[in-house]
Structure 1
Amino acid sequence: MIYTKPHYQIALTQLHGFGSIKTKQLLQSVENEAAIFNLPLKNLAQQTGFSLNVLKKMKREEAIQESGKLLDLLEQHKIEFIFYTDPRYPRRLKQCEDAPLMLYTKGNIDLNNTRFVAIVGTRDASEYGKRICSELIQQFAGTNIVVVSGMAYGIDITIHQLCLQYGVETIGVMAHGLEIIYPQLHRSTAMKMLEKGGLISEYPPTTKPDRENFPMRNRIVAGMCDATIVVESKVKGGSLITAELANDYNRDVFAYPGNIFDENSEGCNVLISTNKAHLIRSGADFLKKMGWDLEVKHPVQRSVFPSLTQEELHIVRLLETQGQMNIDTMAMQLNVPSSALSVLLFQLEMNGLIASVPGNRCRLV
């Protein structure tokens, strides 16, 4: 069989005992990828500085044979791949020592767009966290910001869905192969994301969502972005790992403060109090701190009214007559408990009918 450059590139990701860092060291010492598979092991040891015993264990014959099967699988499922040396590889991520050798991609993706922002948070998102997400993404509408998150429950999927709603390009970084969508509940959102953004993974197409893959995934989320925003987070978990990684990569980190007695805000409050994140209160705060406070080119338009419940219709009519309203005042006027009103407001935001504004207020879009 005649092996091509793509064969050798994929085979490099299959070498036994060689992660991305060691493989990059191999590449720096040879003329091209093919040399790692074609040079006699003794010559390869002399050129690279790796011991003969280590090189014998990498099973390069098995790796190159496996690459052919993987290439066929990628073609079958219409999955593209971007090797570390490819100019399409995200330049921000390439600055990170532990960046993956290969990214598998689906969708309409430019991984070197002008501005990338990671937005992460708890899987147990509260209405407070969801309202933050809605205001934040509306601020990003009409800009050239690409939003990156992890397709998980809670804040992640809320962010992706809001990006779709407001026309913001969004990318999901997966902790498994791209022929698997986990959780399955998010498949429809993932398919819609392929039209304006897409999905990426460092794992071959059929890789299962094993537990150890998720922390590894977070380094890609942090590394490929200019900044990371933590919306709502417990003191332990993936969001805090992503924030720590972003700090390690010298990226800007931002967090929203929250109730000191709420465990969902504890992680954000710790990041802020330990100077590991800048405090922000709105999307406008973030854009200003990043120096991105440009005029929005395409203001969000109110979507066509969906079928509203009687309670939702009362809210819309009240805002039509009052304009911006404080949410606590609205709850009193409508004689609705604040908790129930928050659920109704979130649904109206998701339907593109209202928007949150500073001061615990909202308005019609």
Structure 2
Amino acid sequence: MNTNSLLHLLALQKAPNLGDTTAKKLIAVVGSVEGVFKEKRQNLLKIDGIGEHRIKGLFDVSLFDAAETELEFIKANNITTQSYMDSEYPERLKQCTDGPILLFQRGAINLNNRHIISIVGTRKVTTQGISFCNEFIESLSPLNPIIVSGFAYGVDITAQKAAVKHQLQTIGCLAHGLNQIYPKVHSKYVSQIEDNGGFITDFWSSDTFDRNNFLKRNRIIAGLSEATIVIESAEKGGSLVTADIANSYDREVFAVPGRPKDTQSVGCNTLIKKQQAHVLTSAADLIYMLNWDINEKPKTVQKSLFVELDDTEKTIYKYLQEQGKEHIDLIALGCNMPSYKIASVLLTMEMKGVIRPLPGKLFEVF
């Protein structure tokens, strides 16, 4: 994208009362973003759905003054820009009618990966929610997914820290410009995130910090991903908005169920009850529903060595070596493991290439 086109896109993005959907319509009808500003007012008004209220801001000369200032900020801070017309623009977000006409990125983001999931939830995450989130991402790590979240307190930062720990790419979608970080206490994670992904936003450095920005930001979280996962949520919250947006985009939504009286499980339970989300109890649920191929990028280990197996996996491997083919319930019993955890561990071992499933919920070592 050349500088002139970027300048005009910035001006169009800044125009009041337009929005991304209308901006895209104007460009499509006129033929180019530069042409939108050259077109006569009466011709623009002939476009279906375009009224005086929508376009009056286009003729404010201060738009380009503001665009010039933002362009200087972009160049001075090594920020990458992507227009919805660019081939590098996120493919799934391009499918969303209200996706941003212009994105700003910083870091080492590479979206050439079809396994992209968003993980969201309450800022008041419980110890149980943290534990589930960490185990869930660890179980998925052999498939190398990209983890998208909002870099906020609670579930967001838990998911992104877990992604970094397991060397997965993670993207923080910000509700403000790239000239600041919120919450400030998370500034200590910025370099780690940028080394393992980066940050995306459609807000300018000059945009006022506003709570409504968070709701607008959520469409990017939902739009980037194949599926949105809600770890924990109260009866109301931004994560439920993200789930609703994901459903409107015809994307898969998953929610972790909880006890009926747990405050931070009410939102998830409601999503499941209203059939607005699939039940998520382990990584296996997600892989099955999304039809991910676990043999796509297997991580193999030497069967004689346990350099890539944790203590629990070593116990299971030794048990199967001694017993041969065994049913999942008997594996749990023989290894003294809770039944809710065994499926996730077996899945991880399967993806590592040390065991394989057989019909009838049987497993054996390779």
TM superposition score category, shorter chain reference:
0.7 to 0.9
Letter of the structure 2 residue corresponding to residue 129 of structure 1:
G
Equivalence for 1:29: 29
TM-score (norm 2): 0.79
Go from structure 1 to structure 2 and tell me whether the alpha carbon gap of 1:32 and 1:357 turns closer, same or farther (over 3 Å shift). Answer: farther
Equivalence for 1:260: 260
CA distance, structure 2, for counterparts of residue 263 and residue 222 of structure 1:
24
CA distance, structure 1, for counterparts of residue 278 and residue 49 of structure 2:
44
Go from structure 1 to structure 2 and tell me whether the alpha carbon gap of 1:358 and 1:174 turns closer, same or farther (over 3 Å shift). Answer: farther
Give secondary structure in 2 for the equivalent of 1:105: strand
Confirm or deny: 8 A CA contact 1:284 1:293 kept in the other structure.
no
CA distance, structure 2, for counterparts of residue 111 and residue 268 of structure 1:
28
Give secondary structure in 2 for the equivalent of 1:141: helix
Equivalence for 1:78: 78
CA distance, structure 1, for counterparts of residue 300 and residue 166 of structure 2:
10
CA distance, structure 1, for counterparts of residue 53 and residue 138 of structure 2:
56
Letter of the structure 2 residue corresponding to residue 91 of structure 1:
E
CA distance, structure 1, for counterparts of residue 338 and residue 30 of structure 2:
57
Give secondary structure in 2 for the equivalent of 1:241: helix
Confirm or deny: 8 A CA contact 2:18 2:54 kept in the other structure.
no
Go from structure 1 to structure 2 and tell me whether the alpha carbon gap of 1:55 and 1:290 turns closer, same or farther (over 3 Å shift). Answer: closer
Equivalence for 1:205: 205
CA distance, structure 1, for counterparts of residue 155 and residue 51 of structure 2:
47
Confirm or deny: 8 A CA contact 2:12 2:58 kept in the other structure.
no
Equivalence for 1:107: 107
Go from structure 1 to structure 2 and tell me whether the alpha carbon gap of 1:119 and 1:34 turns closer, same or farther (over 3 Å shift). Answer: same
Go from structure 1 to structure 2 and tell me whether the alpha carbon gap of 1:234 and 1:293 turns closer, same or farther (over 3 Å shift). Answer: farther
Give secondary structure in 1 for the equivalent of 2:72: helix
Confirm or deny: 8 A CA contact 1:88 1:112 kept in the other structure.
no
CA distance, structure 2, for counterparts of residue 61 and residue 206 of structure 1:
17
Aligned residues: 317
Q: Percent of aligned pairs with the same residue?
A: 35
Q: Displacement of 1:56 after TM fit?
A: 3.6
Equivalence for 1:335: none
Deviations 1:67-108 (A, max 9, x none): 111110111111111112111111211222211111111011
Q: Displacement of 1:193 after TM fit?
A: 0.9
Go from structure 1 to structure 2 and tell me whether the alpha carbon gap of 1:270 and 1:52 turns closer, same or farther (over 3 Å shift). Answer: closer
CA distance, structure 1, for counterparts of residue 3 and residue 126 of structure 2:
52
Give secondary structure in 2 for the equivalent of 1:194: helix
Equivalence for 1:359: 340
Superposition pairs of residues 36-51 of structure 1, within 5 angstroms: 36-46=36-46, 50-51=50-51
Go from structure 1 to structure 2 and tell me whether the alpha carbon gap of 1:71 and 1:48 turns closer, same or farther (over 3 Å shift). Answer: farther
Q: Displacement of 1:238 after TM fit?
A: 0.8
Q: Displacement of 1:48 after TM fit?
A: 7.3
CA distance, structure 2, for counterparts of residue 3 and residue 44 of structure 1:
25
Give secondary structure in 2 for the equivalent of 1:4: helix
CA distance, structure 2, for counterparts of residue 7 and residue 150 of structure 1:
28
Equivalence for 1:218: 218
Go from structure 1 to structure 2 and tell me whether the alpha carbon gap of 1:167 and 1:302 turns closer, same or farther (over 3 Å shift). Answer: farther
Superposition pairs of residues 301-316 of structure 1, within 5 angstroms: none
Letter of the structure 1 residue corresponding to residue 104 of structure 2:
Y
Go from structure 1 to structure 2 and tell me whether the alpha carbon gap of 1:165 and 1:3 turns closer, same or farther (over 3 Å shift). Answer: closer
Equivalence for 2:160: 160
Go from structure 1 to structure 2 and tell me whether the alpha carbon gap of 1:246 and 1:358 turns closer, same or farther (over 3 Å shift). Answer: farther
Structure 1 range deviating more: 240-249 or 46-55? 46-55
Go from structure 1 to structure 2 and tell me whether the alpha carbon gap of 1:276 and 1:46 turns closer, same or farther (over 3 Å shift). Answer: closer
User: Which ranges of 4 or more aligned residues in structure 1 deviate by more than 6 Å?
Assistant: 299-303
Letter of the structure 1 residue corresponding to residue 21 of structure 2:
I
Q: Displacement of 1:223 after TM fit?
A: 1.3
Q: Displacement of 1:195 after TM fit?
A: 1.2
Equivalence for 2:232: 232
Letter of the structure 1 residue corresponding to residue 105 of structure 2:
T
Q: Displacement of 1:135 after TM fit?
A: 1.1
Superposition pairs of residues 167-186 of structure 1, within 5 angstroms: 167-186=167-186
TM-score (norm 1): 0.79
CA distance, structure 2, for counterparts of residue 249 and residue 299 of structure 1:
36
Q: Displacement of 1:51 after TM fit?
A: 4.7
Name stretches of at least 5 consecutive residues in structure 2 with no aligned partner: 317-336, 350-366
Name stretches of at least 5 consecutive residues in structure 1 with no aligned partner: 304-315, 325-355
The CA RMSD measured in Å over matched residues stands at 2.8
CA distance, structure 2, for counterparts of residue 249 and residue 175 of structure 1:
20
Confirm or deny: 8 A CA contact 2:227 2:251 kept in the other structure.
yes
Equivalence for 1:68: 68
